[in-house]
Structure 1
Amino acid sequence: MTLTIHDVAQRTGLTTYTLRYYAKEGLLDFVTRSSNKLGTRLFKESDLEFIYLIKCLKNAGLSIKEIKTFVDWTMAGDSTIAERRDMFQKRRTALQQQMADLQATLDVVNYKYWYYQVAEDAGTCAVHDGMPDAEIPEKFRQVKHRLSALDGIKDA
């Protein structure tokens, strides 16, 4: 059973425009084409897995050029296993750092949410002046101290 580009778009969440762009950039060279004048792409179910992988690599921050290199390595076969593994190792390290950075940001946002909830309940931000650490939820203490160390900013 073959799938149309519209079927693939619907199943992958990518637009037909994006799929055509990926094809133009050489990311879908593995897809069979019809023998008619138009050379219509004839997607197979098995092509979807690779398209999902391309989508994942794009979401992971790889450029089209980097994804094209990966596709080329994959098409080259087993001789490029080490290069593909190294590419995933580098991307994994970069994503782990991004996740750590996002977690630190979320910690600050959660702390400030708590800060302003307490201030709203008390009717003033002054409620935090001189508040002992014991009254600050443990999960926010480190964030508060990190923020306080940044310039002695009381309420940013």
Structure 2
Amino acid sequence: MKKQPTTSQSGALARFFKATISAGLLAAFILLLNGHSSQAGSATWRLNPVSGDWNTAANWTAGGPPNGATDTATFQSSNVTDVLLSTDTEVDGIVFGAGASAFTITATPTTAVFNLLIGGAGITNNSGITQNFVAANSGDSGSHGRIVFDNSATAGTLTVFTNEGGTADSHY
């Protein structure tokens, strides 16, 4: 008579836990890779961007658009200087390099409030000319843009803020 192989319950339980842990680690690793690749990073606005939308990656050098607590957005000379936010955006700092064009950066709402949160270094203007920031109002939808300085962020020099019914806040 042939004997059927038997499996102990403890052996089966050990294999089950090993498989479950392996699957969990694999899923966590995949999420980690996807999360890392979707983060933009610090970047510089292009000389010839495809549009004026801050949140379009093609408008920035590799690593853009800047939209993270440690990201820096750098602006130099450009043929497109009216820059609009199309979603909430957070940066550590905004830098206008020596010889940069005169930019107008607008938190423009459509159906929701769009925030520009500057949470660290703030704005550094090395261009020698005035840079403009606008907290706009959508008009019909009643939404508004917001420009928020958080932590120790400062507005720097030669920066003008226009409030068209939006808000400009500082949270220290």
- TM above 0.5, yes or no, is no
* Bigger helix share: 1
